[in-house]
Amino acid sequence: MAHLLKNLTNSIWHAFHALQADATNTVAKSKLKVLTANIGTLMDLYGVEKGLEHYRSTQSLTFDQYIYYLQKEVFSSVTDATSVQTLKTMEEGVDEICWLVCKKIYLERSHSVFNDHSVYQLFRIYCLLAETDSDATDSYLVIMHGDEVARIASHLVMSLGLQWDAADFSALSVAIGTFRFPTFLAVLESKYSGGNTLDVMALSEAIDDLYQIYIENVVKKGYLMKKGFLLPTLRYFWFILRPGELTYYKDPQQKEPSGLILLNANCWADTVTNGGKPDRRFVLSTPEHRCIELMAEDHKGRLQWLAALQTAIQHSSEKIGYQRSLANQRRSLRQAIKQEKEETKLELQHERQARIAAEIQARKLETLSKEEGAKVQQLEDVKQKLELLLQEEKQALRDEEIVRSLQARVLREEWEKREQLERLQQEQQELLEMEKMKRMEFEQMQKQNEQQLQNAELRLQHLEAEREHLDTELRTAREKVKRAEEAQFLLEAQIVTRPLRGSERIRRTQSFIPTTKERPLSIEKIDSRSMTIQKNI
């Protein structure tokens, strides 16, 4: 069964730790073979240690590897059909083997108070209540929680008749931190064993009482009166109640029990009334013994025994062990509380962060509110300005309407003026056309005048040439006249000087008088012709 190896893991770890030769957290296979052979012999398995030679290729194993080998090769032979008593015997035998391996380390103490057997009993109690943890190197550590140490120490102190100081132990637990077995043993011996005032026998009885409660799962023990089966008389017996069984002895020193009552889920305990009044008696009903009548010393004892019987009946079918089950519950509760504290711590951190964030957000919001207030004031100012601008715009719109009406009127007037201008432009265009026509006519007339002028100039030139020719002829004629006059004068002079004959005088006279064709123009005619040319020019 898997829980058997789980119950023995702590004691096997102590043996494994005692076999370590260095700080590598490994043990040589040769040493583990001896431990494995002893465990296998206890469980009627022979030769299981030989498999270590072929298990992994290394010469040493870590604790995890060794536990895995035990689970697969040794404890796999334990099945669910194995009885609870057999499991208890195996567990006790393996614890004794592991104690033989590691006891030398724990029994060598400078100031020993407990005897060796008591130390062994405390060792088994420690392995029952301790839990595994890992250190910085990820190796196993078997430690006991401070609450469990306080439970054992307080029970030991009260069993010795001393006073328990919870506050002092809390301070001590905080100072120590983790309780390994040497620390656990040293704390009990040095602080909670009563020192030299108590004898060894009292300490042994107190530790034996602890051993019975935690290892042997004794729920309750004490004297009860039992009614016999054959003779209905009440006799005192020493009863020891465990989950699943109620054993009674003639006295506490008796080794063999006088009787054994098996308990299961079909059993129950109930009170007995005496005429409607509470009685010290109670009845235990079982399928085998029918009804067993018991009687406590007082009413308080009766109630305690009834509660203890109910607990023993409820846990009668458990194979894990009553105290181990309670220890697991306390461990689960501590883990839950630790997780809750961590969650609470995380929640507090989150709340602190949220509060800081909220404060920052509040400051931001305050800043934003101030900024918003300033913006609102600015917006109010802007609003007032906008209202003024709106009024001005409305006034401007009204003015614009007036201006638009004026512009419309001006536009109409401009259209009218434009129409007038267009008419004037058209008239001007017409005038320009007329002017253009007149200009063209004038140009034509000017061309004609120029042509006429050119013709006149040509004629003038011709007339000039003609005038020059006429002037030349005039000069020539004047010279001829002059010569004629001179000749006439000479002739007259000659005539005066000698008389001619008539015929000769006539010839001479005719020879000097020009003919009509050769007669030059008179000066008056020439002058009149030059005047006419000048007029034409």
DSSP letter string over 505-531? HHHHHHHHS--TTTPPPPHHHHHHHHH
Residue 508 pLDDT greater than 80, yes or no: no
229 lies in the same domain as 288: yes
Q: Does any domain span residue 423?
A: no
The pLDDT score that the predictor gives to residue 524 is: 52
Domain hosting residue 283, numbered range: 220-320
The predicted structure's pLDDT at residue 185? 92
Give 24-33 contacts, CB < 8 A, sequence gap 24+.
24/60, 25/62, 25/63, 25/137, 25/139, 26/60, 26/61, 26/62, 27/60, 27/61, 27/66, 28/59, 28/60, 29/53, 29/59, 29/60, 29/61, 32/61, 32/66
Residue entry with tokens 């796999």 = 76
Per-residue pLDDT, averaged over 464-479, amounts to 85
305 pLDDT above the threshold of 60? yes
Q: Tell me, yes or no, whether 520 lies in a domain.
A: no
Final residue belonging to a domain, choices 214, 244, 260: 214
**What's residue 138's pLDDT?**
53
Sheet of 290-295, strands arranged across: 259-262, 245-249, 234-242, 220-227, 290-295, 277-286, 268-274
CATH code at position 255? 2.30.29.30
Do residues 72 and 206 share a domain?
yes
Average pLDDT, the chain: 84
Identify whether residues 36 and 121 lie together within a single domain: yes
How many separate domains does the chain show?
Answer: 2
Same domain, 273 and 183: no
- Residues 179, 227: one domain? no
**pLDDT value of residue 308:** 93
* Lowest mean per-residue pLDDT among 26-40, 154-168, 412-426: 412-426
Query: Residues 129-160: pLDDT tens digits?
Result: 998 876 655 567 899 999 999 999 999 999 88
User: Dihedral (C-alpha) 16, 17, 23, 25: value to the nearest 10 degrees?
Assistant: 40
Identify whether residues 84 and 152 lie together within a single domain: yes
Closest CA to 63 of 142, 129, 145, 181: 142
Confidence of residue 530 (pLDDT cuts 50, 70, 90): low
- Tell whether 115 and 178 lie within a shared domain: yes
Residue 509's contacts (CB-CB under 8 Å, 6 or more residues apart) are 491
Average pLDDT over residues 76-87: 84
Same domain, 265 and 311: yes
Note the pLDDT of residue 175. 92
Range ranked top by mean pLDDT from 146-155, 370-379, 426-435: 146-155
Instruction: Mark which of 320, 349, 369 sits at the end of a domain.
Output: 320
3-state SS assignment for residue 295: strand
Do residues 99 and 241 both lie within one domain? no
**Which of 415, 367, 407, 330 has its CA nearest to residue 131?**
330
In a domain, 438, yes or no: no
Cα 204 from Cα 114, distance rounded (Å): 7
* Token code pair at residue 336: 């839950």
Asked, for residue 84, whether it belongs to a domain, the answer is yes
Is pLDDT of 515 > 50? no
Determine the pLDDT at residue 506.
45
Cβ–Cβ under 8 Å, residues 283 and 265? no
pLDDT band at 499 (very low <50, low <70, confident <90, very high): low
Residue 430, in any domain of the structure:
no
Last residue of a domain, one of 193, 214, 235: 214
User: How much is the average pLDDT of 449-470?
Assistant: 84
Q: What is the pLDDT of residue 359?
A: 87
User: Is 175 part of any domain?
Assistant: yes
* 48, two tokens: 């299981």
Reduced DSSP (H G I as helix, E B as strand, rest coil) percent helix, strand, coil of the chain, to 5: 65, 10, 20
Provide the residue type at 48 as one letter.
Answer: V
1, pLDDT greater than 80? no
Residues 6+ apart with CB under 8 A from 289: 229, 261
Output the pLDDT for position 535: 55
Do 231 and 204 share a domain, yes or no? no
Residues facing residue 179 across a β-bridge: 144
Which tens digit of pLDDT belongs to each residue from 384-426?
888 888 888 888 888 888 888 888 888 888 888 888 888 888 8
Question: If pLDDT is split at 50, 70 and 90, which confidence band does 102 have?
Answer: very high
Locate 415 and state its tokens: 């259209």
Confidence of residue 517 (pLDDT cuts 50, 70, 90): very low
Check residue 219 and give its pLDDT. Answer: 93
CA-CA distance, 143 to 150, in Å (whole number)? Answer: 14
Looking at the fold, whether 65 and 209 belong to one and the same domain comes out as yes
Q: What is the pLDDT of residue 513?
A: 43
- Residue-level pLDDT at 519: 45
* CB-CB contact of 106 with 119 (8 Å): yes
Q: Residue 2 is encoded by which pair of tokens?
A: 């898997």
Could you tell me the CA-to-CA distances from 384 to 138, 158, 380, 390 in Å, in that order? Answer: 75, 88, 6, 9
In a domain, 348, yes or no: no
| Total Cβ atoms within 10 A of residue 404 | 12
Same domain, 92 and 179: yes
* Residue 209 counted as domain residue: yes
